Amino acid sequence: MALPTYASTPQVIWYYTFRGICALIFFFLIAPILVIIPLSFNAENFFTFTPEMLSLSPEGYSTKHYEDFFNTSDWQQAMWNSLKIAPMATLLAVSFGTLAAIGLSSEHVPFRRAIMAVLISPMIVPLIISAAGMYFFYSRIGLQGTYLGVVLAHAALGIPFVIITVTATLVGFDRSLTRAAANMGANPVTTFFRVQMPLILPGVISGALFAFITSFDEVVVVLFVGSAGQKTLPWQMFIGLREQISPTILAVATMLVGISICLLTVVELLRRRSERLRGMSPG
Amino acid sequence: MADTDSSDAFVAFERVQKSYDGETLVVKDLNLSMPKGEFLTMLGPSGSGKTTCLMMLAGFETATHGEIKLDGKPINNIPPHKRGIGMVFQNYALFPHMTVAENLAFPLEVRKIPKSEREEKVKRALDMVQMGAFGGRRPAQLSGGQQQRIALARALVFEPELVLMDEPLGALDKQLREHMQFEITNLAHSLGITTVYVTHDQTEALTMSDRVAVFDDGRIQQLAPPDQLYEAPQNSFVAQFIGENNTLIGTVKSIDGEFCKVQLEDGEVIDAKAVNIGEVGTKTQVSIRPERVEYNRERMAEGVHTLKAEVLEFIYMGDIFRTRLRVAGKDDFVIKTRNAPDQVRLKRGEQIEIGWLPSDCHALDA
């Protein structure tokens, strides 16, 4: 990527402009996230950098907002709700999404593009529309305001991610492997769990991560479909922003960023491991 | 077509037809029966229906019409995983996420064979293909030839009575391919398994098989042992497809029992064996193998018809000489002669006379 010696003046100008643009993009993406981290350690109950903080004196910093998070029952309840909803929604999204992707990638399924479009639609349709639709539908069948209702709604939002990542993995999947397994006497269920599933695992894992994060971060649908009993972390943050502007939100946000980074790292490591087992790279 | 009695056949296709789209038949009226222990090759150009036949036998395709029988029992309604047929796939289809030993153990595991017996069998199968030291490796760490051997061992490890092979040597280089041909036939014969082998390589078919079924256009054109296939082709497709051949077009002038006289387009008359011809006056394609053509008058039999020929090209190939001639107006007539001490080396432009035994010259369908 180094600038070649024969570069003309416009090329030199573009070379530096391009780098400048990239730097700006990264700055706008990351700065808002980075700035909340020091703010969450604010000793005051404000969203601003106090003079003590700017002079880096220890009195300007404290962990009181973190203590507040762990000692407030509202926040604790919200966290447990999120931790109950997201894994279930992920489990459902992964099971249905994987099955759908496998079904839709076999050639003899009629209208597979149309079916695919319908299943992907929660990703494309504005969230508020899905949320309103789900609200009316779930009210009719008695799911509105229930744990199951929120889980189902979040699973529906997560399925497109799983379908897309698993479909992408299936493109490289050699169909003769399932034939070989059948030929050796394995029934379709054994073939699925012993041969197909291990090989598409990287896609399934990535899809699961996206589905989990979707549910964990989601605020619009849960506001419509859930009730006070299903108040999730994002919902509590939303309330916190509206009603009492407390830096506790920043502490929660910082922790969520930390969790996201950990999750991403773990999942990426898992994905690489299973990709290696898949024999894509020797070693 | 001559065939063994289908009642004691191990594998039998009875009037099998296959169509993928409901309109065109990929396999048209296939009848085939194989005794136990036979090594049969399905040979044909791509699109001739040979692979479809193999897939029907394995159970991955269903026959549109007709019946396929294994050991006397119809298998049309048995799913692939209950047929107990071993198969070697074109791309080997080794499971990349399992080690070589795990790959081999897979068919035994699904059969619920106890662990100690499983290990014993895996070891024996690996030793059989001289890959005993590779059990712990993954397929991606093996060369093409080694993967081929593992695929073969995996198809044999559960001791199936029938093994199918779908162009298993297609991806190997020439030397390795020849070596594996030898190994596969040896293994198949020593274990006494019945083998159906699909290939488009005629040399492979001739060197490996007990019998070869030549496929074209969804039909078996000829089913015969390799020597018969080469020396007594039943029709012009087989004659053209197997080995090198010279063809001359003419009309049947007279038929005399086993032999006939054929008048070529330039008026000359030759003797030929009447294999597959119509009545007197119909067109025929006469085929002669390049190595059965003689130009040394002393070596020709008494009273054979000869043709005038002009030497167009003489190619020295070491063990043989290959000479291209103009015969009866066609300039792609090739003869092959062994490089013997007394062999005449023809020169370009030389005028010679060529002849052959009428029994080596087959009058076939045009």
pLDDT tens for each residue of A89-125: 999 999 999 999 999 988 788 888 899 999 999 888 9
Q: What is the pLDDT of residue B106?
A: 94
Nearest-by-CA chain B residue for A190: B110
Q: Test A179 with B60 for CB contact under 8 angstroms.
A: yes
Mean pLDDT of B64-73: 90
To test the contact with chain A by mutation, choose from B60, B81, B102, B162 the residue with the greatest count of A C-beta atoms within 10 A, namely: B81
Q: Test B81 with A185 for CB contact under 8 angstroms.
A: yes
ipTM: 0.79
Mean pLDDT of B95-110: 92
With beta carbons less than 8 A apart as the criterion, state whether B94 and B139 touch.
yes
A199 touches B: beta carbon within 8 Å: yes
Q: How far is A105 from chain B (nearest CA, A)?
A: 18
Mean pLDDT of B204-232: 91
With beta carbons less than 8 A apart as the criterion, state whether A276 and B141 touch.
no
B62 touches A: beta carbon within 8 Å: no
Query: Residue A132, class by beta-carbon neighbours within 10 Å (0-12 exposed, 13-18 middle, 19+ buried)?
Result: middle
pLDDT band with cut points at 50, 70 and 90 for residue B226: very high
Q: How far is A58 from chain B (nearest CA, A)?
A: 54
Q: What is the C-alpha separation between B253 and B261, in angstroms, rounded?
A: 5
Tokens representing B129? 């293909």
* Statement: residue B1 has pLDDT above 70: no
A177 touches B: beta carbon within 8 Å: yes
Q: Which of B80, B85, B93 lies nearest to residue A176, judging by beta carbons? A: B93
CA distances to A109, B329, B348, B353, B356 from B310, in Å: 63, 10, 8, 8, 17
Tokens representing A249? 């939100």
Q: What is the pLDDT of residue B195?
A: 93
pLDDT band with cut points at 50, 70 and 90 for residue B259: confident
Where are the extended beta strands (E) located within chain B?
11-19, 25-34, 39-43, 65-70, 73-74, 86-88, 162-166, 194-199, 211-216, 219-224, 246-256, 259-264, 269-274, 283-288, 306-316, 320-327, 330-338, 351-355, 361-364
B84 touches A: beta carbon within 8 Å: yes
pLDDT band with cut points at 50, 70 and 90 for residue B104: very high
Indicate the range of A119-133, A154-168, B297-311 predicted with least confidence: B297-311
Q: What is the pLDDT of residue A281?
A: 45
Q: What is the C-alpha separation between A156 and A158, in angstroms, rounded?
A: 5
Query: Residue A168, class by beta-carbon neighbours within 10 Å (0-12 exposed, 13-18 middle, 19+ buried)?
Result: middle
Global pTM exceeds 0.80: no
Q: What is the pLDDT of residue A260?
A: 86
Q: Test B59 with A280 for CB contact under 8 angstroms.
A: no
pLDDT band with cut points at 50, 70 and 90 for residue A280: low
Nearest-by-CA chain A residue for B104: A184
Nearest-by-CA chain B residue for A175: B93
- Longest distance between any two alpha carbons in chain A, whole Å: 74
Nearest-by-CA chain A residue for B58: A183
Q: What is the pLDDT of residue A1?
A: 64
Q: What is the pLDDT of residue B130?
A: 85
Q: What is the pLDDT of residue B3?
A: 47
With beta carbons less than 8 A apart as the criterion, state whether A93 and A161 touch.
yes
pLDDT band with cut points at 50, 70 and 90 for residue B4: very low
Provide φ and ψ at B325, rounded to 5°: -125, 160
**Residues A123-160: pLDDT tens digits?**
889 999 999 999 999 999 998 889 999 999 999 999 99
Q: What is the C-alpha separation between B149 and B129, in angstroms, rounded?
A: 6
Mean pLDDT of A38-51: 81
Q: What is the pLDDT of residue B194?
A: 93
Nearest-by-CA chain A residue for B82: A185
Share of residues in chain A with pLDDT > 90 (%): 38
With beta carbons less than 8 A apart as the criterion, state whether A247 and A37 touch.
no
**Count of pairs with CB atoms under 8 A, one residue in A, one in B:** 76
What domains are defined for chain B?
A: 6-236 (3.40.50.300), 244-364 (2.40.50.100)
A176 touches B: beta carbon within 8 Å: yes
Tokens representing A212? 């989990």
Q: How far is A97 from chain B (nearest CA, A)?
A: 23
Tell the residue number behind the tokens 């153990």, with chain if given: B105
Find chain A residues with C-beta within 8 A of B107's C-beta: 184-186
| Count helices and strands in chain B by DSSP H and E runs | 8, 19
Mean pLDDT of B200-216: 91
Q: What is the pLDDT of residue B2?
A: 42
Q: Test A282 with B96 for CB contact under 8 angstroms.
A: no
**Residues B71-102: pLDDT tens digits?**
888 998 899 999 989 999 988 899 988 999 99
Which residues have CB under 8 Å from B120's CB, separation 6+? none
Q: What is the C-alpha separation between B52 and B54, in angstroms, rounded?
A: 5
Tokens representing B122? 């895996």
Q: What is the Cβ-side half-sphere exposure of residue B323, based on CA atoms within 13 angstroms? A: 28
Share of residues in chain B with pLDDT > 90 (%): 28
Find chain B residues with C-beta within 8 A of A176's C-beta: 89-91, 93
pLDDT band with cut points at 50, 70 and 90 for residue A227: confident
* Statement: residue A282 has pLDDT above 50: no
What domains are defined for chain A?
A: 9-60 (no CATH), 74-245 (1.10.3720.10)
Q: What is the pLDDT of residue A74?
A: 86
Provide φ and ψ at B332, rounded to 5°: -120, 30
Q: What is the mean pLDDT of chain A?
A: 87
Q: What is the pLDDT of residue A97?
A: 95
Q: What is the pLDDT of residue A156?
A: 93
Beta strands B194-199 and B162-166 are parallel
Beta bridge partners of B32: B13
Mean pLDDT of B45-54: 88
* Statement: residue A4 has pLDDT above 90: no
pLDDT band with cut points at 50, 70 and 90 for residue B163: very high
User: Nearest to residue B204, comparing CAs of B317, B32, B43?
Assistant: B43
* Statement: residue A204 has pLDDT above 60: yes
Q: Which of residues 114-173 of B touch A (CB under 8 A)?
A: 138-141, 154, 158
Mean pLDDT of B150-158: 91
* Statement: residue B110 has pLDDT above 70: yes
**Residues A240-268: pLDDT tens digits?**
888 877 788 888 889 888 988 898 898 88
Q: What is the pLDDT of residue A283?
A: 34
Q: How far is A273 from chain B (nearest CA, A)?
A: 11
B93 touches A: beta carbon within 8 Å: yes
